[in-house]
Amino acid sequence: MIELRTLAEIEQMRAAGRFVASVLEATAAASIVGKNLIALDKLAHDMIRKAGAESCYIDYHPSFGASPFGKVLCTSVNDAALHGLPHDYTLRDGDLVSLDFAASVNGWVADSAISFVVGTAAPEDTALIDTTSRALDAGIAAATVGNRVGDISAAIGAVAHADGYSVNVDFGGHGVGRTMHGDPHIPNDGRPGRGLPLRAGLVFAIEPWLMIGTDRIFTDPDGWTLRSEDGSRAAHAEHTVAITENGPIVLTARR
């Protein structure tokens, strides 16, 4: 079901957005050579506990997950594109890391992701992250009253294709509110002028993710982590966005 939020409710959602942004800032800053993924998850868990927030991941068990996720932070490294399950891995120089985090504060959810390289960055990784970030910006810019979901999808896809990347549409953006995943689904490629009309009060996560050499993925033996089929690296960028008559508001904007 698609729900419209009042301006007052959108204001209430800002606390969740600020908290999610702060956790991503802290975990990204802590992602240095020698840091273990389990330690990053613990840092996020400690911040949740201190803030009195609730994790959207730890008990999450959709049809595509082998079991409840069991952690509070998605840590996808190198060829891991999405849903990276934190495990005993120590970050190395040159690792491409994507962190994805969602939490509920006072009953409202926000969801966001960021990608970066630990230590020395290869040019192709920098280019991938830049394209993914610009695709997110293009999608947000298209999230205006009078447009349609297809306009967001087309804007994301146009940036990706212009830089030579193919796009997987199996996973994409989604409604956000009292729960983490709701309608509408927002593919990362599509045709403009198609799909749900965008109205003030819609709140959703926009989340392009791209891989260097393919648009195909497979599920890791851990039952959660989605990896590129050819082993090439991946990047992921995401913000929770509210549509208003005065334009989109990025609720998870980082400093």
Per residue of the chain (255 residues), give pLDDT as tens: 899 999 999 999 999 999 999 999 999 999 999 999 999 999 999 999 999 999 999 999 988 888 999 999 999 999 999 999 999 999 999 999 999 999 999 999 999 999 999 999 999 999 999 999 999 999 999 999 999 999 999 999 999 999 999 999 999 999 999 999 999 999 999 999 999 999 999 999 999 999 999 999 999 999 999 999 999 999 999 999 999 999 999 999 998
Domain 7-250 -> CATH class? alpha beta
What pLDDT does residue 82 have? 97
Annotation: binding site: 83, 100, 111, 174, 181, 207, 238
Report residue 177 as tokens: 């509110």
d(CA 239, CA 114): 9
d(CA 84, CA 206): 18
Annotation: binding site for substrate: 83, 181
Cβ contacts of 153 within 8 Å, gap of 6 or more: 139, 172, 186, 187, 188, 189, 190, 191, 195
What is the reported pTM?
Answer: 0.96
d(CA 79, CA 252): 25
Spans of all domains in the chain: 7-250
How many residues belong to the chain? 255
d(CA 76, CA 226): 8
What pLDDT does residue 143 have? 98
DSSP state of 14: H
DSSP string over 59-74: T---TTSSS---SSSE
C-alpha 195 chain-centroid distance: 22
Annotation: binding site for a divalent metal cation: 100, 111, 174, 207, 238
What pLDDT does residue 62 have? 86
Which stretches of the chain are assigned E, i.e. beta strand?
Answer: 54-55, 74-77, 80-82, 96-105, 108-117, 173-175, 182-186, 203-206, 209-211, 217-219, 226-228, 234-236, 239-244, 247-250
Locate tokens 């509210």: which residue?
242
